Copies of this chain bind each other. A is one copy, B any other.
Amino acid sequence: MKVTILGCYAATPRTLTHPTSQVLEIKNHLFLIDCGEGTQVQLRKQKVRFSKINHIFISHLHGDHFFGLPGLVATFRLLGRVNPLHIYGPKGIKEAVTLLLKLGDSWTNYPLHFHELSSQAPEVVFEDKKVTVTTIPLDHRVYTNGFLFREKVGSRKLEAQAVEAHGIDSCYFQNIKDGKDAPNKAGEIIPNAQLSSDPKPTKSYAFCSDTAYFPKIIAQIKEVTVLYHESTFLESESDLATKTKHSTASQAAKIAESAGVKSLILGHYSTRYDGLQPFKEEAEVYFKPVLLADDGREFEF
């Protein structure tokens, strides 16, 4: 599982800081999360293969999270895209993108599917054999969802030596991977636990931005491998955080601690601060390890 940060700063794009966008690589998917202005250039800089992005998840319709989307949709056409593109985001996103294309008498020559979201409760928005993506309703000034990406539990691991020692016929191998017991040649039933071991632990990634401090999400993100939580402000600006429905680094860390996550990535920093180290220091009072997102940074888990 790999996260590539394309942009992790709040508000306006600047020369060296980019608004929110990131790519999550998980189980052969390349999921794009949020798409601030300039995202397509950041994708090029990070050498992400555009054509492999088939699903785009938009948290909310503030410009710094989606003003790069119409341009990306248009660029996909110019690049000769053929594969369907799925866009998940708040109600209204379809009207916005299609209006902008229509005004330019443009179109897509690939199937474009919008999945508009309006539920106040978590809902599964994508699922295949290996991954589920579930919304995480957040608390921001406009309707906002985080997204929980979770690998599905895989098959049990066949223990080759044990299987051979017991003389199990290969026709039972799939059954064993599925957790079933199997007979040996003498017809004795060998318990599954003797023939297989637990599947690889699954990984999970929770993207939570933008949001006020919102403990309601803790139950849903319990023990995820990685939590990306916004920390627009430091505690010194906690009044501003409350007023604008953003979080401080401390608050992000408290959520991480209560949810017992494995790692916390901070991001969506206000550009008022000179450096990022104070975010880490403030968060580490409550939780470790704290990782600092920065534009262009990659994290593997």
A interface list, Cβ under 8 A from B: 11-15, 37-38, 40-41, 44-45, 60-63, 67-68, 70-71, 74-75, 78-79, 90, 92-93, 95-96, 99-100, 103-106, 141-142
* Residue of A38, A45, A103 most packed against chain B (CB within 10 A): A103
Known A38-B37, A105-B142; judge A63-B13 contact (CB<8 A).
no
CB nearest neighbor in B for A70: B67
Known interface pairs A67-B70, A67-B74; 14 further A-B residue pairs with C-beta atoms within 8 A, sorted by A's residue number: A11-B78, A12-B78, A13-B40, A14-B44, A15-B45, A38-B41, A61-B104, A63-B100, A63-B106, A67-B67, A67-B71, A90-B103, A96-B103, A105-B142
A71 / chain B contacts, CB cutoff of 8 Å: 12-13, 37, 63, 67
A37 lies within 8 A of B68 (CB): yes
Closest 8 CB pairs of A and B: A61-B103, A12-B75, A62-B104, A37-B71, A92-B103, A63-B74, A67-B71, A105-B142
- A–B Cβ pairs within 8 angstroms, 27 of them: A11-B75, A12-B75, A12-B78, A12-B79, A13-B38, A13-B40, A13-B41, A13-B71, A14-B41, A14-B44, A15-B44, A37-B38, A37-B40, A37-B68, A61-B103, A62-B106, A63-B70, A63-B71, A63-B104, A67-B67, A67-B71, A67-B100, A90-B103, A93-B103, A96-B99, A99-B99, A105-B141
